[in-house]
Structure 1
Amino acid sequence: MWVSWLMMLLSLWPVAASTARSDVKPGCQEKCGNVSVPYPFGILDRSCAMSKNFFLNCSSNDEGHPELFFGTNMPISNISELEGTVTVGIDAALNCYDKKGIETDSFSQSITLGSGPFMFSNTRNIFTATGCDTSAQVTNSESTYGAACLSLCTENVEMSDENPCSGSGCCQTSIPKGLKSLRYSLSTSSNYANVSDFNRCGFAFLADKRSLKISKWQLSRTPIYGKDAYATDVVIEWVVENKTCEQAKANTSAYACGTNANCTYPESGQGYRCSCNEGFEGNPYLKDGCQDIDECMDPNKYPCQGRCKNTVGDYTCRCPLGMYGDGKKGCQGTGIITIIAGM
């Protein structure tokens, strides 16, 4: 008996595996190393991406392992087609001095996302600087934006994730919507001479607020280069095109949203993205990427106190015989089964 059950399960396995949903175009590679690359992005073959803007560089690193890059030097750790984000690693800017006040190390950061539909997320990222004698500046290459923050202290400050940056050893400032380039650098008023016993370097960086750990940026920190450099997670937002939904839908051959998907606007207010319609899930950029949700298979998310029946894009829930009401919200009455059982 157990043998027959096992044979039946093995015979079903290829069917289950073949129906697993894919986030890429047919015949295209789904991962570069450990990073999933969902459509509209693509790797290795340009036809796997929606356009040249979404064709990414998957190449071997120094250890010979495949690594995904945005541009030529920003390693990618995550891509979300649902949130419209790409998370990359960017090294921090820094300047360091010895006890005599002589500069020993300095690095300014400059990043350009190019002319494609990409921008730094103003809702996810925060510009941060650490140090006791640190003035950090952030601008864009178009010279349409500029900001600075000042971080001062006279004694060692313990960097804690529970306490936000207050200006004592750490400062932060937000960035505006739509930035496609950033430059950040540091300066000092007294070359760290008064605080050199515990703080000889200042750092400045853009970082994802969700993953930033200020506790890792203690004032005693010194530079590290190469693969162990102090890179922070930075979130880049993307849209399909810098068009309105009306403009996009007017050109049906270039419209990016698949079946059972609709055009949506990001918070940045620039361009459009796609999302699956209510009752569907999957990759909205693939032709048939949005598939019907079987709500009856997930009663915790889609409650039903009666008989659940899946429908296209929705589900119905009928109360048991002898009861009434909306089965999705709750049924009233004792029910014929309960009455008969109590007789």
Structure 2
Amino acid sequence: MALHVSVKFRCFVLLLCLQLVSVQIAVATSRPIAKPGCKDRCGNVSIPYPFGIADGCFLDEWFKVTCNDSLNPPKPVYRGLSVSNISVLDGEMTTEVGIATNCDDQHAADDSMTFLGKFTFSNKKNKFIAIGCNTVALHKATNGSISGGCLSICTAKDTFTNGFCNGIGCCETRIPAAISNLSVTVEDINERKNMSFNLCGYGFLVEQNSFSFSSPYLKDFKSKGTGTVPAVVDWTIGNEKCDDAIRNSTSYACGPNTL
């Protein structure tokens, strides 16, 4: 009986130790790491290698981040876009992107253009949104050709469903894979006459878990589209395969989005 209790106790201790080790490994692998001697944060955002702020701290110019210390808290900026998160494990970065608008009280529509260069917008974690009545939002490729879009229609008598983009007041779709430059335009397909509840149409790409439609957006969304929304960017390290890159421990920084 004593032997049986002793064996069970040892198994329990072994199991506990294995759990503690797995937790330590998970914490260690999830902790962003900057190059030695380099700043690893900007405000509340971690800046892990291959990204970096100062010269010698990033892999190459595609991974250069600046820190806007004039804000409180400071904000990291990548190619003019504010950054709220960088993940090495996922090979992702969350940035703030602009909103295309078409308002009745404006002489011309305000398009939104975002240029990532080497990196691409995630077509799995983002969705393309159009908000408005009789509004079509289009996203265009680098050469100006239309790559996709969606149409939202409604009248003053429509009943809107908060939380859903079903084409009535709000529509949603996906973007193609490997889009690095995003140009968004919004068109009014039928003048919004006598629609005091909807003076603007909007079009934008947004991280799918960060947006849920609400009928008040028809009257005003993000200060008439002058604000920004978060979007997920996939990043890779050149064309080097992870199996090759991992052999160089000083520069290894592969995530699932790498080749």
Same fold (TM over 0.5): yes
Cα distance 1:65–1:105, how it changes in 2: closer, same or farther (>3 A)? farther
**Structure 1 length as normaliser, TM-score?**
0.60
Query: Equivalent residue for 2:116?
Result: 113
Within 2, Cα distance between the matches of 1:90 and 1:28?
A: 27
Within 2, Cα distance between the matches of 1:60 and 1:143?
A: 36
Higher strand share: 1
Check conservation: 2:147, 2:176, Cα contact below 8 A.
no
Within 2, Cα distance between the matches of 1:144 and 1:200?
A: 28
What's the secondary structure of 2:65's corresponding residue? strand
Within 1, Cα distance between the matches of 2:141 and 2:249?
A: 32
Matched ranges for 1:328-339 at <5 A: none
Q: If you compute each CA radius of gyration, which structure gives the higher value, 1 or 2?
A: 1
Superimposed CA distance per residue, residues 104-151 of structure 1 (whole angstroms, 9 cap, x where no aligned partner)? 56310011111x3x1100100110000012011111213466112110
What's the secondary structure of 1:224's corresponding residue? helix
Would you say 1:96 and 2:103 are equivalent positions?
yes
Show structure 1 runs of 5+ residues with no match.
1-19, 273-343
Amino acid at match of 1:202: G
Cα distance 1:27–1:159, how it changes in 2: closer, same or farther (>3 A)? farther
**Structure 2 length as normaliser, TM-score?**
0.78
Amino acid at match of 1:71: R
Q: CA deviation at 1:212?
A: 1.4
Cα distance 1:165–1:65, how it changes in 2: closer, same or farther (>3 A)? closer
What's the secondary structure of 2:62's corresponding residue? helix
Query: Equivalent residue for 2:206?
Result: 207
Query: Equivalent residue for 2:61?
Result: 52
Higher relative contact order (CA 8 A, sep 6+): 2
Query: Equivalent residue for 1:75?
Result: 82
What's the secondary structure of 1:218's corresponding residue? helix
Show structure 2 runs of 5+ residues with no match.
1-27
Query: Equivalent residue for 2:185?
Result: 185
Would you say 1:131 and 2:132 are equivalent positions?
yes
Cα distance 1:85–1:28, how it changes in 2: closer, same or farther (>3 A)? same
Q: CA RMSD in A?
A: 2.8
Aligned pair partner of 2:162 in 160, 163, 166: 160
Q: How many residue pairs get matched?
A: 229
Would you say 1:33 and 2:33 are equivalent positions?
no
Within 2, Cα distance between the matches of 1:207 and 1:217?
A: 18
Matched ranges for 1:1-343 at <5 A: 23-43=33-53, 45-61=54-70, 63=71, 65-72=73-80, 74-98=81-105, 103-104=106-107, 106-114=109-117, 116=118, 118-143=119-144, 146-155=147-156, 157-158=159-160, 160-161=162-163, 164-194=164-194, 196-215=195-214, 218-221=217-220, 224=223, 229-245=226-242, 248=244, 256-257=251-252, 266=257, 271-272=258-259
Amino acid at match of 1:237: D
Calculate percent identity across the aligned residue pairs. 32
Query: Equivalent residue for 1:338?
Result: none
Query: Equivalent residue for 1:339?
Result: none
Q: CA deviation at 1:50?
A: 2.0
What's the secondary structure of 1:106's corresponding residue? coil
Check conservation: 1:240, 1:256, Cα contact below 8 A.
no
Within 2, Cα distance between the matches of 1:223 and 1:191?
A: 22
Within 2, Cα distance between the matches of 1:265 and 1:77?
A: 20
Q: CA deviation at 1:83?
A: 0.8
